[in-house]
């Protein structure tokens, strides 16, 4: 703008009438300001077209020269660098700035020049794996904000230490582990991903599969979770969240208090502490399609085959003599130990002993208690679990069988 104004003044014929010294000083001023504006414009244009990696490449060049001498510095890469993962149809240009990844001797250099920690790359050479499979971020971008793109609802943010800080998670690289698990989901355990391993352990221990199908196995009281990480953020209601409004926060909050999201849900409150809820949420978020060529999928597919004991425990829960207590969701709060029914929450007493325990506790027989319950069970049976009279009698019949088995096992263990 100033540039055109200056030219306009020069062309103004009335300016000719002004005399001598005054005129030339004004002109000089005008020309100077015009030149200044021109320079600013040129700089802006240069800044637009000059790539964001250039300053880092120059710095890298200087760093290599300092440490390894001019010869190696002369051979440092310049210009756009990229790793093309042909079969996966991906291009990662992160190495345009992160030039030291595969170098030794730059461990203490500043980002983005640093040598990469070696452990993760031992099993995943960068030529084959690139960066974004593990780190997230936008592989094709060459400018900082775009490459590290932080997107509120978990699209492809860089899963960096800032993210852990935002969510107050101690492990700097917690979120990265969700990405490990998109490839390693069928591993029972993955070395280097302890948080994910913890989450998987909880899924087995808490019996999520009693109500949810996961990888084709499980019950159908709740929704199938096999691809829960694929669900779009718009499908969730964030109005109850007091923390960051993201899908991840939703998962954590829901796990810690399912009833605050759906008052009549039978999903139990497992009393999860924050670390455990985070671990579970990370695993849930990792359950998404990767559509990867086979060479990117580690080892045998479906390696998380349950141990024979676990398979048997699950079968008993779903098909055994006590399945009534699973189908009617009593097991959310009660073990029926002698029938193999295990509750993750153990909110109520073990129903294997109800025959003897109910009279002690309520001063009447189990039959009478079930027909007209008091206390918590009055609420449960009027609000949450509707049983017909036949079903109540069936429950009593099964609790009597359970009690017999319980007594048998007691005498056996006394022998």
What residues between 159 and 218 interact with ligand HEC by CB under 6 A? 160-162, 173, 176, 179-180, 183-184, 187, 190-193, 202-203, 206-208, 210-212
- Is 288 one of the binding residues for ligand HEC (CB under 6 A)? no
Q: Which helix (H) or strand (E) holds 375?
A: none
Q: Is the dihedral of CA 228, 233, 239, 243 positive or negative?
A: positive
Determine the 3-state secondary structure of 70 from DSSP: helix
Give the residue with the Cβ less far from ligand HEC, 22 or 104.
104
Applying CB under 6 A, the span of 69-77, 220-228, 238-246, 309-317 interacting with ligand HEC comes to 220-228
Interface pick for ligand HEC out of 231, 288, 318, 400 (rule CB under 6 A):
231
Give the residue with the Cβ less far from ligand HEC, 66 or 327.
327
Interface pick for ligand HEC out of 81, 243, 265, 407 (rule CB under 6 A):
265
Interface pick for ligand HEC out of 30, 99, 158, 352 (rule CB under 6 A):
158
Q: Which of residues 109-138 bind ligand HEC (CB under 6 A)?
A: 111-112, 114, 116-117, 120, 123-124, 126, 129-135, 137-138
Interface pick for ligand HEC out of 61, 354, 402, 403 (rule CB under 6 A):
354
Interface pick for ligand HEC out of 249, 256, 329, 338 (rule CB under 6 A):
329
Cα torsion 364, 369, 374, 377 to 10°: value is 140
d(CA 200, CA 222): 18
Shortest distance, position 345 Cβ to ligand HEC, whole Å: 8
Q: Which of residues 372-411 bind ligand HEC (CB under 6 A)?
A: 375-377, 380, 385, 387, 395
**Residue holding tokens 């309520």?**
362
Shortest distance, position 405 Cβ to ligand HEC, whole Å: 16
Shortest distance, position 221 Cβ to ligand HEC, whole Å: 5
- Expressed in angstroms, the distance from the first to the final Cα of the chain is 100
Structure token digits, residue 290: 């990767």
Cis check for the bond before 156: say yes or no (omega within 30 of 0). Answer: no
Q: Is the separation of the CB atoms in 209 and 196 below 8 Å?
A: no
Interface pick for ligand HEC out of 58, 67, 315, 361 (rule CB under 6 A):
361
Nearest to 129 by CA among 179, 174, 88: 88
Q: Which of residues 69-108 bind ligand HEC (CB under 6 A)?
A: 92, 94-98, 101
Distances (CA, A) of 155 to 181, 184, 277: 17, 20, 21
DSSP line for 234-255:
GGS--TT-SS--SHHHHHHHHH
Taking each continuous run of H as one helix and of E as one strand, the counts in the chain are 19, 2
Shortest distance, position 123 Cβ to ligand HEC, whole Å: 4
Q: Is the separation of the CB atoms in 331 and 317 below 8 Å?
A: yes
Applying CB under 6 A, the span of 40-48, 58-66, 313-321, 363-371 interacting with ligand HEC comes to 363-371
CA angle 319, 323, 325 (to 5 degrees): 165
Shortest distance, position 198 Cβ to ligand HEC, whole Å: 12
């Amino acid at each position: 703008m100033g540039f055109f104004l200056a030219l306009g003044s020069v062309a103004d014929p009335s300016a000719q009438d002004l005399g001598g010294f005054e005129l030339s000083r004004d002109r000089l001023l005008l020309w100077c300001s015009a030149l200044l504006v021109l320079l600013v414009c040129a700089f802006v244009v240069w800044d637009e077209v000059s790539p964001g990696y250039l300053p880092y490449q120059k710095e890298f060049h200087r760093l290599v020269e300092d440490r390894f001498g001019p010869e190696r510095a002369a051979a440092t890469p310049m210009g756009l660098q990229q790793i093309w993962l042909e079969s996966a149809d991906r291009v990662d240009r992160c190495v345009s700035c992160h030039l030291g990844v595969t170098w030794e001797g730059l461990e203490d250099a500043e980002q983005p020049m640093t040598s990469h920690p070696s452990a993760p790359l031992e099993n995943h050479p960068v030529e084959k794996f690139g960066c974004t499979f593990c780190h997230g971020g936008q592989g094709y971008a060459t400018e900082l904000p775009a490459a590290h793109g932080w997107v509120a609802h978990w699209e492809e943010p860089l899963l960096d230490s800032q993210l852990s800080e935002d969510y107050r998670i101690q492990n700097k690289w917690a979120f990265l582990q969700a990405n490990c698990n998109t490839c390693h989901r069928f591993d029972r355990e993955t070395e280097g991903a302890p948080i994910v391993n913890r989450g998987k352990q909880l899924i087995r221990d808490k019996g999520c599969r009693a109500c949810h199908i996961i990888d084709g196995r499980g019950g159908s009281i709740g929704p199938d979770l096999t691809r829960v990480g694929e669900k779009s953020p718009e499908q969730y209601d964030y109005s109850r969240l007091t923390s960051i409004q993201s899908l991840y926060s939703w998962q954590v909050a829901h796990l810690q208090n399912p009833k605050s999201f759906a008052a009549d849900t039978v999903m139990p409150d497992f009393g999860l502490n924050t670390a455990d809820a985070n671990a579970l949420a990370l695993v849930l978020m990792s359950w998404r399609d990767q559509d990867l060529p086979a060479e990117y999928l580690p080892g045998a597919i479906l390696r998380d085959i349950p141990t024979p004991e676990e398979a048997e425990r699950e079968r008993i829960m779903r098909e055994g003599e006590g399945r009534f207590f699973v189908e009617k969701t009593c097991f959310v709060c009660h073990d029926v130990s002698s029938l193999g029914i295990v509750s993750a929450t153990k909110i109520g007493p073990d129903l294997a002993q109800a025959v003897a325990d109910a009279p002690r506790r309520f001063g009447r027989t189990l039959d009478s208690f079930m027909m007209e319950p008091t206390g918590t069970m009055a609420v449960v049976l009027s609000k949450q679990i509707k049983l017909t009279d036949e079903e109540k009698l069936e429950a009593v019949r099964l609790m009597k069988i359970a009690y017999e088995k319980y007594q048998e096992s007691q005498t056996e263990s006394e022998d």
